[in-house]
Amino acid sequence: MSDTKTDTPKKLFIKTYGCQMNVYDSERMAESLEGYVQTDTAEDADMILLNTCHIREKAAEKVYSELGRLKPLKDLKPDLKIGVAGCVAQAEGAEIMRRQPAVDLVVGPQSYHRLPQMEARLREGKTALDTDFPEEDKFAHLKGRTGARRAPAAFLTVQEGCDKFCAFCVVPYTRGAEVSRPAERVLREAQELVERGVREVTLLGQNVNAYHGDMTLAQLIRALGKIDGLERIRYTTSHPNDMDDDLIAAHADTPKLMPYLHLPVQSGSDRILKRMNRSHTAESYLRLIERIREVRPDIMMSGDFIVGFPEETEADFQATMDLVEQVNYGYAYSFKYSTRPGTPAASRAQVDPAEADERLQRLQALITRQQRAIQESMVGRDLSVLVEKAGRNAGQMLGKSEYLHSVHIDNSTAQIGDVVPVRITRAMTNSLTAREL
Ligand code: 5AD
Ligand code: SF4
């Protein structure tokens, strides 16, 4: 039953798919909708928003299946409003409402600052569609981060969009051209987050290290480092070609910058990298990591890989396996190539799907071996943990190490938001156990 009293907040359920930027966007959308409180059950909601991902085919299809599941809810509760936001909204636009008439609202990632006006249209019984790339800066039209106390680790978008046009990727089409937020606004938002209990920010951008909002990313990181109460800084995702000397230097000279770097390479074969339009080679990537490790030997490397890209041969795939062996990743995300309509690679000769599956399994087995070995090498080491929540067992707290591993601290006296020194006592499959020092 929807609420008819105007002074009782309505309930908003947001389901977020895809990347960390979508997590950030969902928070900002929720904050922008005054008169709503968030609920974590769709059945309770007056409005359901799906914040969607279009990066791979499966991600997009999931959205239509979810909409199909939500339709009966709307049949029972005709006042329920259903909206689709994010990259599927951007890519599909009005097609979503044609395919699923239960949808009332479609809003793209660059126009969600207009959600309050769109919601007003819904209250008049109309539908609302906005997939513009507006002139105005959406961030300038969103309220400050002045809400309730927050979890200690937060995302903060500093850059959006991509000008790189990798041949497989929809991002330049769904998120648009590279845009950087002014440094002063980012600093203000970080300050607001710190005032609400945040101790760690992860700066987000599709090409975060191409940030050029009147400072470079390295300069922005150093400026953030001066904010009292902000203990940790991370950034993601970076492109190898935008990893400049000063950013590498920041890993040595800025103690609050955590020793973790997500630096996707996608393939270890120069022939495939060229076909992907990556404009770097396997060798230049390996050399870059060497230079980073010269200044920060303990840096934890993370990467993304695509297997079964059109025309990939067994020899090309072996080159990827060799590169992974050489880098030794703490984390790596690998995907089977997924054809994205409108991208240059979509019309090329596809690799046999069974072959691609088999390669993916081999790559993932290698990555898992590396990750486990690195995790086990943490046992006996003294690390620091940002405490994020209580653990499952009594007296146990749960947080993240500087290398982003999840750490359970036994018999802890720490509070949420503390950064505590610990000694790692045990490595489990997906986390570490520690005691406080
Ligand atoms: N198919 C498979 N994986 C893809 N990625 C991007 N586009 C595709 C695609 N068409 C992967 C890349 C990227 C990560 C976010 O998703 O590895 O770095
Ligand atoms: Fe996509 Fe390539 Fe841009 Fe990353 S750098 S968002 S993979 S086009």
Strand boundaries in 86-208, DSSP class E:
105-107, 128-130, 153-157, 159-160, 179-180, 200-204
- All residues at 6 or more sequence positions from 417 whose CB lies less than 8 Å from its CB, including other chains: 152, 197, 199, 386, 387
310-354 pLDDT tens trace: 999 999 999 999 999 999 999 999 999 999 999 999 999 999 999
Q: Which class would CATH give 146-377?
A: alpha beta
How far apart CA 414 and CA 387 sit, in angstroms, is: 7
For ligand 1, atom 13, the nearest C-alpha belongs to: 304
Cβ pair 409, 385 in contact under 8 A:
yes
Confirm or reject: Cβ of 344 under 6 Å from ligand 1: no
Residue 117, token pair as written in the block = 């006006």
Phi/psi at 51 (5° precision): -100, 110
Per-residue pLDDT of 160-170, as tens digits, reads 999 999 999 99
3-state helix, strand, coil in the chain (%, to 5): 40, 20, 40
Please check if 19 is assigned to a binding site.
yes
Is there a binding annotation on residue 107?
no
Of the bound ligands, which one is closest to the alpha carbon of residue 332?
Answer: 1
Atom of ligand 2 nearest to the CA of 237: 4
- Report residue 6's pLDDT band, with 50, 70 and 90 as the boundaries: low
What pLDDT is attached to residue 19? 94
At the fourth CATH level, the homologous superfamily of domain 10-130 is Methylthiotransferase, N-terminal domain (3.40.50.12160)
Query: Is 53 one of the annotated binding-site residues?
Result: yes
DSSP state string for 296-326:
-TTPEEEEEEEES-TT--HHHHHHHHHHHHH
Ligand 2: centre distance to CA 261 (Å): 16
The total number of residues written for the chain in this structure? 437
Backbone angles phi, psi at 305, to 5 degrees: -135, 145
Strands 36-38 and 10-16: parallel
Percent residues over pLDDT 70 in the chain:
98
- Of 117, 109, 111, 47, the C-alpha closest to 83 is 47
Residue-wise pLDDT tens digits, 242-262: 999 999 999 999 999 999 999
Q: Is the pLDDT of residue 280 over 70?
A: yes
* Residues in the ligand 2 pocket, defined by CB under 6 Å: 162, 164-166, 169, 171-172, 206-207, 239
Q: To which CATH superfamily is domain 382-436 assigned?
A: Nucleic acid-binding proteins (2.40.50.140)
Structural domain boundaries in the chain: 10-130, 146-377, 382-436
Residue 20 Cβ inside 6 Å of ligand 1? The answer reads no
Cα of 303 to ligand 1 centre, how many Å? 11
Helix axes 314-327, 353-376, angle to 10 degrees: 10
Q: Is the pLDDT of residue 140 over 90?
A: no
Q: Does 168 contact ligand 1 (Cβ within 6 A)?
A: yes
Which of 54, 164, 237 for mutating ligand 2's site (highest number of atoms within 8 Å of CB)? 164
Does any ligand 1 atom lie closer than 6 A to the CB of residue 309? no
For the chain, the first-to-last Cα distance in angstroms comes to: 53
